[in-house]
Amino acid sequence: MTFRGQLRLMRQLTSIALRSLAQRKTRTALTMLGVIIGVGAVIVMVAIGEGAKASVARTIKGLGTNLLVVSPGFSRRGPVRASNVETLTAADAEAILARVQGVVQVAPELGQNVQVKYLAQNTNTTVLGVTPGWATVNNYTLRRGRFLDDLDQRNSQKVAVLGATVVTNLFPDTRAVGQTIKVRGHNFKVVGTLESKGQGGGRDPDNQILIPLTTAQDRLFGTDALRTLSVQIVTEDQMDRAQADIEALLRERHRLADEAASDFTIGSQKELLESASAVSDTFTALLAAVAAVSLLVGGIGIMNIMLVSVTERTREIGIRKAIGARSRDILFQFLVESVVLSGIGGLLGVAAGVGGSRLVSSVAGWETAIESSSILLAFGVAMGIGVFFGMYPAQKASGLDPIEALRHE
């Protein structure tokens, strides 16, 4: 046969396959539905997973990516991490600012959970002793009034800046700025309030009261042991070096022997981001795996229906073989049917997946992110499934003995 004849043959076999699918509309639609659901589910699940990942990443980035957080205490992975270890001091913070290269600001934090009162209202919150640079380092913006300044710091003034949640709890109707609140018997004047940061992670970042570090040390808690020490680095690429320098400096200052474990830990937002996105990736993979099972079931549906079709059309296959169809012509015809089923099912599944993701976003309010790679992958897998699960029925058809097939009723 000439090359052109071969092409004509393949084109005609394809149109025979399409017509045969069109003749069995209900069956074709139901078989496709399996693939549509499978592909759609993969796309929606991956979109939900990716959306969650993007949302977590944005929250973490909101905390500042060029931030190192030094906490007192031994290894983070140790069995007990005591929160009252008093190894990190304000002097450490000053030393880091003075001696480590690339450090823009340090924001030491000294804090405890206490009850705070305003007239008859009271609330449990965290009181943090901080320096004026704290707000910039931690990406907080002021809503009203002013932030703590150097003068407050120098004079250990009893002034406070309130987080958004505290404002809501203590001052549901009145303006907070200018009022006086009571913290452990001391009167503090409210000089400013912060913009809300919204929920992110376990702790409410808006449920806190900020007072000058010196006031916290001298008047309120009587200790200079820091809870955490945030260090802002100039650029992200200097993080690793700065982290090493801070570690070396603190070990020197704490007079740790070479073999001793550090009595502090340094964490970076980058690490947090990495571990959070690793968790999200696992989550996404799990969702996608569950969805992939339904795609697999769709493929088995194709195989099932193609096997039925081959049995039903045994006589037709016999007729075609008798008048000169070769085994590969029969194989091609049936394989085209299964690939068209999975291909069109895949395309409709992509549409269903994109639509489904939008629906999930608008109905459930979850963030979704549709990745073009997941669309390509789901569609590609669907096509592959069409070939894979179509091959067995097609081979069964092409291997039929024409004499037996012609006798089939």
Partner 1 sequence: MIRLTGLKKTYQMGDQTVEALKGLDLHIPRGSYVAIMGPSGSGKSTLMNILGCLDRPTAGHYELDGEDVSGLGNDALAGIRNRKIGFVFQSFNLLHHSTALENVALPLIYAGAERQEERAREALRQVALENRAGHRPTEMSGGQRQRVAIARAIITAPPLILADEPTGNLDSQTSEEILDIFERLHKAGTTVVLVTHERDVAEHAERILAFKDGALVKDEQWRQPAATAAAAGQPGAAS
Residue ranges binding partner 1 (CB under 8 A): 1-2, 4-6, 8-9, 12-13, 16, 19-20, 23, 315-316, 318-329, 402-403, 406
Name the minimum Å distance from CB 323 to partner 1: 5
Minimum CB distance to partner 1 smaller for 22 or for 363: 22
Instruction: Give the bridge partners for 266, in sequence order.
Output: 70
- 143, 109, 91: which is closest to 221 by C-alpha? 109
Q: What contacts 91, CB < 8 A, 6 or more positions away?
A: 224, 253
Name the minimum Å distance from CB 23 to partner 1: 6
Minimum CB distance to partner 1 smaller for 23 or for 372: 23
Minimum CB distance to partner 1 smaller for 203 or for 328: 328
Minimum CB distance to partner 1 smaller for 103 or for 400: 400
Minimum CB distance to partner 1 smaller for 160 or for 330: 330
Name the minimum Å distance from CB 16 to partner 1: 8
Minimum CB distance to partner 1 smaller for 8 or for 186: 8
Coil, helix or strand at residue 124: strand
Tokens describing residue 165: 């949640």
Name the minimum Å distance from CB 357 to partner 1: 40
CA dist., res. 187 & res. 208, Å (int): 17
Name the minimum Å distance from CB 400 to partner 1: 11
Name the minimum Å distance from CB 29 to partner 1: 18
Name the minimum Å distance from CB 22 to partner 1: 10
CA dist., res. 96 & res. 69, Å (int): 12
Minimum CB distance to partner 1 smaller for 8 or for 99: 8
Name the minimum Å distance from CB 335 to partner 1: 17
Contact 74, 81 (CB under 8 A): yes
CA dist., res. 123 & res. 101, Å (int): 41
CA dist., res. 253 & res. 92, Å (int): 8
Burial 271-301 (b: 16+ CB within 10 A, else e): ebbeebbeebeebbeebbeebbebbeebbeb
The pairing of strands 228-233 and 186-194 is unpaired
Q: What contacts 294, CB < 8 A, 6 or more positions away?
A: 34, 37, 38, 41
- 20, 226, 209: which is closest to 114 by C-alpha? 209
Minimum CB distance to partner 1 smaller for 229 or for 405: 405
